[in-house]
Amino acid sequence: MKSYFPILALLLCLSCSPAASQEPSSSAFVPDCPYAESYASLGNRLRDTLLLDGRWIDPIDDTSAFVQTQHGFYQSDDKVFKKAWAAAPCQGKLMQVGYFQDLSAQIDLATYRAYNDRYFTSRDQVFFWWVNSGGHLVIPIPGAEARSFVPFPDLCGGKDRNGVYYGSPNFGVNQLFFSPQASFRFVPKANHYWNDPHHYVVLGEEIYEILWDHEQGYHCQKRPALVLTDIE
């Protein structure tokens, strides 16, 4: 049986939960799982699972085909990968499965540049990272200019010399109607979350509500009856 020290180190690095600093309460070798074939070539050949803070985890166990490169990525056969986790059922349990996720379609290492830990540009397009139960999501910001783009610090979007962009991981990002040179600020509603935003935007002396629908995406609707004290 192999040592679990590398596995624990991996969990400490990858997990964003404070609970990951705890020692595993138990471990087991599971003979087979429905997901086994899907991840065998992506760094997870063995069902060497750990029970960590009530969660079953099957970490990466085979890195031999993956060479670590810049920006935290890995390469194998001219493809670009990033370590990821996916939720998968196994014998009545929900496993958190570690694997190398293929991001070759989105990431070009020669042109990759990070604005911060969430936003980046590749092939002169602007994207942001999100994570769901399947691994990393790479979500584009359509129309954003890579050279002048500046991300917003506390909501999904940003601005460049041509426009203001607003959105969410769930519904994408849209360019709002006003100029980035205008005097504007976002005012969050009580039910605002980064992945489910709800804002007003104050544009000079006018107040707009940011709405979303299937046809227009995120867009602004003027609310002439509102004053600042109504929304702040």
Lowest-confidence pick of 19-23, 97-101, 107-111: 19-23
Lowest-confidence pick of 19-28, 93-102, 139-148, 166-175: 19-28
First-last CA distance in the chain? 60
- Tell me the mean pLDDT in the region 119-146: 96
Residues 6+ apart with CB under 8 A from 57: 11, 49, 50, 51, 95, 96, 98
Instruction: Give pLDDT, residue 23.
Output: 54
- Tell me the mean pLDDT in the region 152-167: 96
pLDDT exceeds cutoff 90 at 19 = no
> Which one has a higher pLDDT value, 26 or 133?
133
- Tell me the mean pLDDT in the region 98-113: 97
Question: The sheet that has 157-159: what strands, in order across it?
Answer: 150-151, 157-159, 164-168, 172-175
Lowest-confidence pick of 18-27, 105-114, 192-201: 18-27
Long-range Cβ contacts of 190-194 (<8 Å, 24+ apart): 192/155, 194/154, 194/155, 194/156, 194/168
pLDDT exceeds cutoff 80 at 78 = yes
Give the residue from 138, 173, 139 showing the smallest Cα distance to 159. Answer: 173
pLDDT exceeds cutoff 90 at 33 = no
Percentage with pLDDT > 90 across the chain: 77
Instruction: Give pLDDT, residue 130.
Output: 94
Task: Please give the model's pTM, rounded to 2 decimal places.
Answer: 0.82
